[in-house]
């Protein structure tokens, strides 16, 4: 028996590529699914393009408009509006692989206890796409959670499906305008069974204008992401000893983001925090080089 998928596509000023994302789902061979596009107050031609797509009168396509509230609010509304038990959150600038839903459906059939299904994906920069395989899920939740914190879990929205049952215990935080998915993924991976499938589910497109590369948004969240993951997030007690290791990992992530963006004052500030937290890590040659480069600017 086929289970159903609700594919939620948040849209904010992605009129130039929203049709690609929508059609990539509508063209799926899997028999039971819906596409819900939520226009989060776009000021470009997203509405015009969506109205044109709606003229096709496809019963699988739904279109919702709202004032701008941010990605977390859009995803929460997607949960409320969805019909089927499995949710896939596909970004408007990405696209599903032709048999993506079929692969997720097969993964569920083989792992009926799982509440999070993680697939592979293509990481695309321009015309070049590299296939990324997911970290093999374990029955050991601590092992899965540790791999997630270490960024070994290749977990990407659009390439994974979450059972709606999960959202009885966790929701996206509307105050987070960047990395809003990480506390949710952390809660789920630490508490529930996970299954992986190596087949690619989606093409994830990397480009300068993507939220993934918004340095100001990343710094606005900053180190508060640690508390959002570890405080009042329903984690088991065994997760707390991993907190300091994650703090160092988060500092490294922010330092790298700022180095790429040539935000050298922030690089120096973050390096100082890194040295206080983990002198051993801070003294690694690759991070010393970043510090020296920042001091020369």
At residue 178's C-alpha, the angle toward residues 177 and 184, to 5°, is 100
Q: What is the pLDDT of residue 126?
A: 87
Q: What is the pLDDT of residue 112?
A: 95
Residue 146 in this model has a pLDDT that exceeds 70:
yes
pTM of the model: 0.93
Cα dihedral 40, 43, 47, 50 sign: negative
Q: What is the pLDDT of residue 130?
A: 94
Are 274 and 248 in contact by the 8 Å Cβ rule? The answer is yes
**Beta-strand pair 95-96/160-163:** unpaired
Which helix (H) or strand (E) element contains residue 120? strand 116-125
Q: Give the residue with greater pLDDT, 225 vs 207.
A: 225
Instruction: Note the Cα 80 to chain centre separation in Å.
Output: 19
Q: In the structure, what pLDDT confidence band is assigned to residue 89 with cuts at 50, 70 and 90?
A: very high
Q: What is the pLDDT of residue 214?
A: 82
| Cross-strand partners of 132 | 121
Q: What is the pLDDT of residue 20?
A: 97
Provide φ and ψ at 63, rounded to 5°: -130, 125
Provide φ and ψ at 68, rounded to 5°: -65, 120
pLDDT digit string (tens) for 200-223? 999 999 876 565 668 999 999 999
Helices (H), the chain: 18-26, 46-54, 71-81, 100-110, 141-149, 181-191, 215-221, 224-230, 243-260, 264-277, 279-282, 285-295
| Cross-strand partners of 285 | none
pLDDT digit string (tens) for 249-266? 999 999 999 999 999 999
Residue 1 in this model has a pLDDT that exceeds 70:
no
Q: In the structure, what pLDDT confidence band is assigned to residue 276 with cuts at 50, 70 and 90?
A: very high
Q: What is the pLDDT of residue 210?
A: 60
Structure tokens at 38: 């939520």
pLDDT digit string (tens) for 124-138? 988 899 999 988 999
pLDDT digit string (tens) for 148-189? 999 888 789 999 999 999 999 999 999 988 899 999 999 999
Are 5 and 86 in contact by the 8 Å Cβ rule? The answer is yes
Distance CA 249, CA 247 (A): 5
Q: How many Cα atoms are found within 13 Å in the side-chain-facing hemisphere of 8?
A: 29
Q: In the structure, what pLDDT confidence band is assigned to residue 65 with cuts at 50, 70 and 90?
A: very high
Q: What integer best gives the mean pLDDT of the chain?
A: 94
Closest CA to 10 of 79, 112, 56, 59: 79
Structure tokens at 41: 């107050």
């Amino acid at each position: 028996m086929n289970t159903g998928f609700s594919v939620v596509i948040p849209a904010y000023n992605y009129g130039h590529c929203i049709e690609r994302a929508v059609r990539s789902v509508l063209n799926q061979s899997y028999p039971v699914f819906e596409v819900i596009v939520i226009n989060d107050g776009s000021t470009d031609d997203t509405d015009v393009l969506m109205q044109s797509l709606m003229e096709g009168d496809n019963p699988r396509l739904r279109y919702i408009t709202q004032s701008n509230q941010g990605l977390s609010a859009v995803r929460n509304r997607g949960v409320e509006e969805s019909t089927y038990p499995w949710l896939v959150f596909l970004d408007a600038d990405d696209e599903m692989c032709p048999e993506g839903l079929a692969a997720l459906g097969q993964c569920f059939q083989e792992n009926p206890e799982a509440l999070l299904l993680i697939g592979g994906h293509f990481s695309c920069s321009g015309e070049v796409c590299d296939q990324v395989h997911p970290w093999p899920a374990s029955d050991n939740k601590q092992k899965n959670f540790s791999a997630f914190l270490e960024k070994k879990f290749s977990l990407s929205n659009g390439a994974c499906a979450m059972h709606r049952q999960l959202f009885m215990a966790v929701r996206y935080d509307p105050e987070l305008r960047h990395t809003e998915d990480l506390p949710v993924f952390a809660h789920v991976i630490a508490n529930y069974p996970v299954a992986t499938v190596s087949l690619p589910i989606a093409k994830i497109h990397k480009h300068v204008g993507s939220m993934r590369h918004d340095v100001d948004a990343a710094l606005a969240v900053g180190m508060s992401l640690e508390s959002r993951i570890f405080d009042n997030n329903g984690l088991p007690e065994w997760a707390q000893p991993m907190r300091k290791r994650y703090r160092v990992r988060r500092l490294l992530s922010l330092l790298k983001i700022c180095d790429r963006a040539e935000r050298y004052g922030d690089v120096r500030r973050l390096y100082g925090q890194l040295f206080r937290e983990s002198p051993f890590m801070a003294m690694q040659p690759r991070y010393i080089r970043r510090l020296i480069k920042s001091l020369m600017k």
